[in-house]
Amino acid sequence: MKTRSYKDLIVYQKSYALCLEIYRITGEFPKAELYGLTSQMRRAAVSIPSNIAEGYRRRNRKEYMRFLRIAHGSCAELETQLALSTDLGFMPEAHGQEALAALDEVSRMLRKMHQTLESKQT
Protein backbone atom coordinates (compact mmCIF):
# COMPACT_ATOMS: atom_id res chain seq x y z
CA MET A 1 0.00 0.00 0.00
CA LYS A 2 1.38 3.39 -0.99
CA THR A 3 1.61 6.08 1.67
CA ARG A 4 -0.58 8.96 0.57
CA SER A 5 -0.65 10.86 3.83
CA TYR A 6 1.14 11.02 7.14
CA LYS A 7 -2.05 9.45 8.53
CA ASP A 8 -1.12 6.24 6.70
CA LEU A 9 2.13 5.95 8.67
CA ILE A 10 1.93 3.36 11.43
CA VAL A 11 4.23 5.45 13.61
CA TYR A 12 1.83 8.38 13.28
CA GLN A 13 -1.16 6.18 14.16
CA LYS A 14 0.60 4.71 17.19
CA SER A 15 1.82 8.09 18.41
CA TYR A 16 -1.67 9.55 17.98
CA ALA A 17 -3.13 6.68 20.04
CA LEU A 18 -0.44 7.25 22.67
CA CYS A 19 -1.37 10.94 22.79
CA LEU A 20 -5.01 10.05 23.43
CA GLU A 21 -3.94 7.69 26.21
CA ILE A 22 -1.79 10.39 27.81
CA TYR A 23 -4.81 12.71 27.85
CA ARG A 24 -6.88 9.98 29.55
CA ILE A 25 -4.15 9.26 32.10
CA THR A 26 -3.49 12.89 32.95
CA GLY A 27 -7.22 13.55 33.30
CA GLU A 28 -6.95 11.59 36.55
CA PHE A 29 -4.01 13.63 37.90
CA PRO A 30 -4.48 15.99 40.85
CA LYS A 31 -5.96 19.34 39.82
CA ALA A 32 -2.92 21.05 41.35
CA GLU A 33 -0.88 19.51 38.51
CA LEU A 34 -3.02 20.99 35.73
CA TYR A 35 -0.40 23.64 34.89
CA GLY A 36 2.52 21.43 35.89
CA LEU A 37 3.09 17.83 34.93
CA THR A 38 -0.31 17.41 33.24
CA SER A 39 0.38 20.28 30.85
CA GLN A 40 3.98 19.18 30.20
CA MET A 41 2.98 15.60 29.43
CA ARG A 42 0.18 16.62 27.13
CA ARG A 43 2.41 18.99 25.18
CA ALA A 44 5.16 16.38 24.82
CA ALA A 45 2.61 13.76 23.71
CA VAL A 46 0.97 16.10 21.19
CA SER A 47 4.38 17.07 19.85
CA ILE A 48 5.14 13.53 18.67
CA PRO A 49 2.39 13.01 16.04
CA SER A 50 2.36 16.74 15.25
CA ASN A 51 6.03 16.74 14.26
CA ILE A 52 5.63 13.55 12.26
CA ALA A 53 2.77 15.20 10.35
CA GLU A 54 4.54 18.51 9.84
CA GLY A 55 7.76 16.89 8.69
CA TYR A 56 5.90 14.66 6.25
CA ARG A 57 4.08 17.62 4.73
CA ARG A 58 7.32 19.53 4.17
CA ARG A 59 8.10 17.17 1.27
CA ASN A 60 11.81 17.64 1.90
CA ARG A 61 13.86 14.72 3.24
CA LYS A 62 16.27 16.88 5.27
CA GLU A 63 13.43 18.78 6.96
CA TYR A 64 11.46 15.57 7.48
CA MET A 65 14.45 14.08 9.27
CA ARG A 66 14.71 17.18 11.45
CA PHE A 67 11.06 16.91 12.49
CA LEU A 68 11.48 13.20 13.22
CA ARG A 69 14.38 14.10 15.54
CA ILE A 70 12.17 16.64 17.30
CA ALA A 71 9.43 14.00 17.70
CA HIS A 72 12.05 11.59 19.06
CA GLY A 73 13.18 14.23 21.55
CA SER A 74 9.58 14.61 22.71
CA CYS A 75 9.57 10.86 23.35
CA ALA A 76 12.46 11.32 25.79
CA GLU A 77 10.62 14.15 27.52
CA LEU A 78 7.48 12.07 27.87
CA GLU A 79 9.45 9.08 29.15
CA THR A 80 10.86 11.21 31.96
CA GLN A 81 7.45 12.67 32.76
CA LEU A 82 5.82 9.23 32.89
CA ALA A 83 8.47 8.04 35.34
CA LEU A 84 7.92 11.13 37.51
CA SER A 85 4.15 10.65 37.44
CA THR A 86 4.47 7.05 38.57
CA ASP A 87 7.03 7.86 41.27
CA LEU A 88 4.86 10.69 42.58
CA GLY A 89 1.87 8.36 42.77
CA PHE A 90 -0.23 10.25 40.23
CA MET A 91 -1.04 7.06 38.33
CA PRO A 92 -0.93 3.33 38.93
CA GLU A 93 2.37 1.73 37.94
CA ALA A 94 0.54 -0.55 35.48
CA HIS A 95 -0.73 2.46 33.51
CA GLY A 96 2.76 3.90 33.48
CA GLN A 97 4.24 0.64 32.22
CA GLU A 98 1.66 0.35 29.44
CA ALA A 99 2.29 3.92 28.33
CA LEU A 100 6.06 3.42 28.50
CA ALA A 101 5.79 0.29 26.35
CA ALA A 102 3.77 2.17 23.71
CA LEU A 103 6.20 5.09 23.89
CA ASP A 104 9.18 2.76 23.48
CA GLU A 105 7.63 1.30 20.35
CA VAL A 106 7.03 4.76 18.86
CA SER A 107 10.55 5.83 19.78
CA ARG A 108 12.09 2.78 18.08
CA MET A 109 9.98 3.37 14.98
CA LEU A 110 11.07 7.00 14.78
CA ARG A 111 14.72 6.05 15.14
CA LYS A 112 14.36 3.44 12.38
CA MET A 113 12.58 5.89 10.06
CA HIS A 114 15.33 8.43 10.60
CA GLN A 115 18.03 5.85 9.89
CA THR A 116 16.24 4.74 6.72
CA LEU A 117 15.88 8.30 5.45
CA GLU A 118 19.50 9.04 6.32
CA SER A 119 20.74 5.99 4.40
CA LYS A 120 18.78 7.12 1.33
CA GLN A 121 20.60 10.46 1.39
CA THR A 122 23.98 8.96 0.66
pLDDT digits (tens, 9 = 90+) for 100-121: 999 999 999 999 999 998 898 7
Q: Is 122's pLDDT higher than 70?
A: no
Q: Please report the domains of the chain, with CATH numbers, ordered by start residue.
A: 6-121 (1.20.1440.60)
Q: How far apart are CA 66 and CA 58, in angstroms?
A: 11
Structural contact between residues 63 and 79, judged by C-beta atoms closer than 8 angstroms: no
Mean pLDDT throughout 91-105?
94
Q: How far apart are CA 26 and CA 46, in angstroms?
A: 13
Q: What is the pLDDT of residue 51?
A: 98
Q: What backbone torsions phi and psi does residue 9 show, to the nearest 5 degrees?
A: -75, 130
Average pLDDT, the chain: 94
Q: What is the pLDDT of residue 74?
A: 98
Residue 68's alpha-carbon distances to 92, 93, 113, in angstroms, are 30, 29, 8
